[in-house]
Structure 1
Amino acid sequence: MDVTVSGDLVHSAAVAEVITACVVDKVPARLTASDATLWGPDAESLAAIRLGWVDLPASSRALLPQLAELRERLAAEGLDHVVLAGMGGSSLAPEVITATYGKSLTVLDTTDPAQVRRALGEDLERTVVVVSSKSGGTVETDSHRRAFEQAFLDEGLTNDQLAGRIVVVTDPGSPLENTARNAGYTIVLADPNVGGRYSALTAFGLVPSALAGVDVERLLDEAAALAPTLAGDRDNPGLLLGAVLGAAANHGRDKLVLANSGDIVGFGDWAEQLIAESTGKQGRGILPVVVESPTAPGFDHASGPDAVRAVIGAEDIERLAADLRVSGPLGAQLLLWEYATAVAGRVLGIDPFDQPNVQESKDNTGALLERAGDDGPLPVGTPAFVDGAVEVHGDAGLLAGASDLTGALRALLAAVPDNGYLAVMAYLDRLGDTDAPELRPLLAEALDGEQVTFGWAPRFLHSTGQFHKGGPAVGAFLQITGANTEDLDVPAKPYSFGRLQLAQALGDLGAITSRERPVLRLHLTDRAAGLGQLLDAARALADGAAR
């Protein structure tokens, strides 16, 4: 089917002005020709090695024979349970692809010990692990690899048998490639000229998806059908979408509220990391807000004047009320949004290929672990007060007058500035603490107009985490951590998963508080009880706003 971009915004004068300027500057032809000068001289050197995604619908076809052979070999060995260890773009694209195609894939992009332990215990005898990292230096993915290696050895596998259970996707010449070659693992090399968040149609997106049973050639066909239109000045949906996003943000509508129509599953989570990490820097950017449905709080009438409501699907979305509708098959949508994000970056005057603030939280995490040593306590601080199973941490100015959990939440909501947003950051178990996402719509109702995002940690650190630090200084932050009843060591490392998870939380907390932005940390001493209390408090605030 065709790719269409429709809605009231596409006809605005501001969008027409952006399109005219792009056509005059030959942006469509230059972008499809991988012209690295499009984003200015400061961005040119990085853009020159980050535009390989433009050609992926054709270039990635070289992977298809290797993927078919690998899948056949694994099937013959009875290895049909696929686990993906990756972060950010390395995990989010395969998650969307497999969910949309109805295939099973266990995505491990967490440091929560309960979630990691669960993955280690599921059908290990049938498991193949895809370890995806451009360099191999991503601490979460390195920890996952070590944990699965140890689990396979504990099950009695020899080193040779273990080698047949791990597939590594990485860049040529990376430290991870060297590690994998020394261990005898299967290696699939990705295009090194593609950044992680633009890598959906590279080996990072295709390998785990293909092993899970997706027809990835069809995905490339869908993208290839769109590709010729992206070079043109007329009837170019990528140029139109990029112009809408950039023009809207430049005119104060810098929150992009994303709702799936249902036929493309979880697309907003992938688009969130692409857009937030690409545009959220230098004090500007577009904040994606992923909502549960086109009728969810934040998307419906409560959406404020700073928001663009966009619905995404493969078909039958014209009937849905929205400012922007983007329809088309999944493969085309992946390429379309990458192209549009690159165009929006030019409109906003930023480099869409760097992520200058992501490293800050990583560095903070490493420094905390190093200062604490192998056994020393991490600097968790003293709670301002305790309410049941929830320790409440925040500065005295924020919590002035608050004496219980509801009061603390009310104080944080009051600190959200006009045309700002609240970010909920959950350092919890995505598969065990499944009620946590209910906080987003409840707090959105309580705010009655300002946008609320929800992110599982640490995956959001590789996406909206860039926007939190580098984007407009209009955010307020709710960090949720939880006690671990049973921890899990990271093999050959001086820390456990639980210790790493807490250090990541405290490291990001430091990055946010150093910018003097309002932040509340709630530590659940009993996860189930504390989460129940938190949801009750959020409901009370939402009910109060409704009245």
Structure 2
Amino acid sequence: MRRAVDDRVASRIGAQDPILWGPDAESEAAIRLSWTSLAQTSQPLVAEVEALRSELDGKGIDHVVLCGMGGSSLAPEVICHTADVELTVLDSSQPDMVRAAIADRLERTVVVVSSKSGGTVETDSQRRAYEHAFTEAGIDPRERIVVVTDPGSPLDQQATEAGYRVFRADPDVGGRYSALTAFGLVPSGLAGADIGELLESAREASPALFADDVDNPALRLGVLLGVANTHGVDKLVIADRSGNGIGDWIEQLVAESTGKQGRGILPVVVPDEDAPNFVPSTTDSLLAVIGQQQVGRLERAARLAGNVAHATLAATLGDNPPVDDSAVPTALSGYSTVVDAPLGAQMLLWEIAVAVAGRAIGIDPFDQPDVESAKKAARELLDGAGSVPSPDFTEDGIDVYGAGSSLAEALDQLLDQIDVEHGYLAVQVYLDRIAYAEFAEVREVLAARLARPVTFGWGPRFLHSTGQYHKGGTPNGVFLQITGTPENDLAIDGRDFTFGSFIDSQAAGDAAVLRDHGRPVLRLHLTDVEAGLTRVRELLS
């Protein structure tokens, strides 16, 4: 912490100094630091978005759908939940989910298509599906589609030529840092969120968050994350008490920024501070509560983690006692912290903290080298260049890709491969996350059973989030992948593949890349999704 203050890390981040992360990261950092000034530079967007919203309201167009992936969808989802306004987020290629979104109030719908380049296949496919639906309904897509992209991108050129309304975001901001750019503000503002207030809370917090001071909460959090990681504490268990889903946004920011070169921080999002993995936690985990919390509860969590020495150190982020340098390795294990601030300020705080942590860990927090590998594998399968594996066996209508001679044995063999001291289980579910939302509760079931960190991700959504960490981060994960046959497939205009074949290729492609990295993967394909989920949950319990 003293070194971070002496090196002026916080103020140099605010000044967009690209050399902070070393010579290998300098070229990337030089074009990825404009997020530090967005609280000021995004102000002109407020009036533009409000004017468009008023125009749409006047036409009776009041249902906002966002087509985007990763940071382009997660930030607006959190902003709108916080403001208690409706936003339909379509961040999936699952055909039943796409069809359900299109069927919902199409006559009153405006669609925001968000992509830095337009090359994200999920978003491009969603755009094509809505263009087809609008045309079939006798609605001019030019009146209903709003595009957010980087200036001069292929999507910018295509959308401009088509006559769509285009908002151009700052190109020197990466997707996961884009919450306060047009990517976060346009869909949120159109849905009715007060984006002016969001920017103002970030602006008011900026002087404190970019200060070279031991009381800077962003610096304190970043140093804690980074130093803990260098001492083998590579999990961040997040109890999201906010009710707005910010844990999922933090998950993407932390995992994709730090998970590379065999290092990084794995976020484990839990619903509250009583959930398995938070209480009790493991010795390779930090604990963070999003929202107000009493220190006494954190002390209890520390004791249950078996770290008695830590119990006297638990405190809120703004009131942590000093730590004796000689006690750092033991003191950091199970350390607890609270982060509570208005949303815009909290987003900026986490962005700075993750950049600080990346410097301490010794990685470039702005690249994502392993995200592209899964995309490439999926494209190869779609193009026929890759081989689609056959199931090892089928039981109870479930195709099993992996080891074992029975479904129960295959699951037991996978779970037995978890390192009991350092490992984690990632559950990856490529199903309609709205229709089958309750299945996410299996995370708590497995965490209680295994007494190890368990994450849960909806595919392909997580591919633009924790997918980077799974392949590039600490190599101690095992992976349970669940796919399913859709009720009905859905064609994509102008493509020689369907939504169903696309999501299958995404799952198979990611599994292949994970295996290439030496990660254990078990894939279960459910031909009858309802019955299959019931059977899988029975066995996992």
Name the TM-score, length of structure 1 as normaliser: 0.90
Superposed displacement of residue 485, structure 1:
2.4
> Identity percentage over the alignment?
55
- DSSP-derived class of the 1:148 partner: helix
Rounded to whole Å, the distance in 1 between the matches of 2:186 and 2:29 is 25
Residue 317 of structure 1 contacts residue 327 of structure 1 at CA under 8 Å; is this kept in 2?
Answer: no
| Counterpart-to-counterpart distance in 2, 1:445 and 1:382 | 33
Contact 2:236 2:288 in 1 (8 A): yes
Q: Which amino acid aligns with 1:259?
A: A
Correspondences of 1:86-165 after superposition (within 5 Å): 86-157=68-139, 161-165=140-144
1:300 aligned partner, one-letter code = V
- The amino acid of 1:306's aligned partner reads D
2:206 aligned with 1:227: yes
Name whichever of 321-330 and 83-92 sits farther off. 321-330
Please say if residues 14 and 36 of structure 2, whose CA atoms lie closer than 8 Å, have aligned partners that are also in contact: yes
Q: Secondary structure at the match of 1:193?
A: coil
Match of 1:344 among 323, 337, 357: 357
Measured in 2, the distance between the counterparts of 1:130 and 1:205 equals 11
Partner of 1:4: none
8 A Cα contact 2:150 2:168, kept in partner: yes
Question: Which of 417, 421, 427 does residue 424 from structure 1 map onto?
Answer: 427
Per-residue CA distance 1:289-345 (angstroms, 9 max, x = gap)? 1112211111111x11001111102x4555642611111111111000000000000
What is the aligned counterpart of 1:254 among 221, 234, 249? 234
**Matching of residue 289 in structure 1 with residue 260 in structure 2:** no
Deviations 1:381-404 (A, max 9, x none): 332332212222104xxx3xxx43
In structure 1, what is the equivalent of residue 528 of structure 2?
526
Among 295, 308, 330, the residue aligned to 2:343: 330
Question: 1:405, 1:332 → 2: CA distance?
Answer: 47
- Tell me which residue corresponds to 1:492: 494
Which residue does the alignment assign to 2:188? 209
Residue number among 435, 439, 452 corresponding to 1:436 in the alignment: 439
One-letter code of the match for 2:389? G
Alignment correspondent of 1:355? 368
| Amino acid in structure 2 at the alignment position of 1:134 | K
Residue 282 of structure 2 is matched in structure 1 by 304
Q: 1:331 to 1:43 in 2, by over 3 A?
A: same
Give RMSD over aligned pairs. Answer: 1.3
Residue 390 (structure 2) pairs with residue 382 (structure 1): yes
Task: Please state how far the C-alpha of 1:410 moved relative to its aligned partner.
Answer: 1.6
- The separation in 2 between residues aligned to 1:129 and 1:100, in whole angstroms, is 21
Could you list the per-position Cα deviations for residues 221-270 of structure 1 after superposition, in whole angstroms to 9, with x for gaps in the alignment?
Answer: 111111001222222111011011111111111100111113x5111100
Alignment of 1:15-30 (within 5 A): 19-30=1-12
Work out whether residues 281 and 350 of structure 1, in 8 Å CA contact, stay in contact via their aligned partners in 2. yes
AA at the equivalent of 1:436? F
**Structure 1 residues 132 and 317 mapped into 2: Cα distance closer, same or farther (>3 Å)?**
farther
- Classify the secondary structure of the residue corresponding to 2:488: coil
Match of 1:193 in 2: 172
Select which of 56, 61, 84 maps to 2:66: 84
Using the alignment, how far apart are the partners of 1:76 and 1:346 within structure 2?
A: 49
Q: How many residues align?
A: 503
CA distance in 1, matches of 2:392, 2:445: 24
Please say if residues 426 and 436 of structure 1, whose CA atoms lie closer than 8 Å, have aligned partners that are also in contact. Answer: no
Look up the equivalent residue of 1:387 and give its one-letter code: E
Q: CA deviation at 1:178?
A: 0.6
The letter for the 2-side match of 1:347 is A
1:466 correspondence with 2:444: no
Deviation sequence 1:81-111 (CA, Å, 0-9, x none): 0000000000000001111111100000001
Deviations 1:365-391 (Å, cap 9, x if unpaired)?
A: 11111116xxxxx84433233221222
Aligned to 2:338, the other structure's residue is in SS state strand
Separation (CA, whole Å) in 2 of partners of 1:295 and 1:392: 34
Which residue of structure 1 aligns with residue 29 of structure 2? 47
Q: What SS is found at the alignment partner of 2:437?
A: coil
Contact 2:381 2:388 survives alignment (8 Å) = no
Which stretch shifts more, 439-448 or 458-467?
439-448
Shift in Å, 1:34: 0.5
Contact persistence 1:283–1:470 (CA under 8 A): yes
> Quick one: distance in 2 between partners of 1:103 and 1:421?
35
Match of 1:392 among 395, 400, 403: 400
SS of residue matched to 1:299: coil
Distance 2:200 2:294 in 1: 22
Letter in 1 for 2:238: L
2:68 is matched by which residue type in structure 1?
G
Q: In structure 1, how many angstroms separate the alpha carbons of the residues matched to 2:50 and 2:511? A: 44
Unpaired segments of 5 or more residues in structure 1?
A: 1-18, 373-377, 540-547
Structure 1 415/25 Cα, relative in aligned 2: closer, same or farther at 3 Å?
same
Instruction: Give the counterpart of 2:217 among 230, 237, 242.
Output: 237
Unpaired stretches in structure 2, ≥5 consecutive residues: 302-335
CA distance in structure 1 between the partners assigned to 2:492 and 2:433 by the alignment: 19
Q: Distance in 1 between matches of 2:293 and 2:343?
A: 14
**After TM superposition, where is structure 1 displaced by more than 6 Å over at least 4 residues in a row?**
none
Q: Deviations over 1:168-196 (max 9, x none)?
A: 00010000011111111111111111000
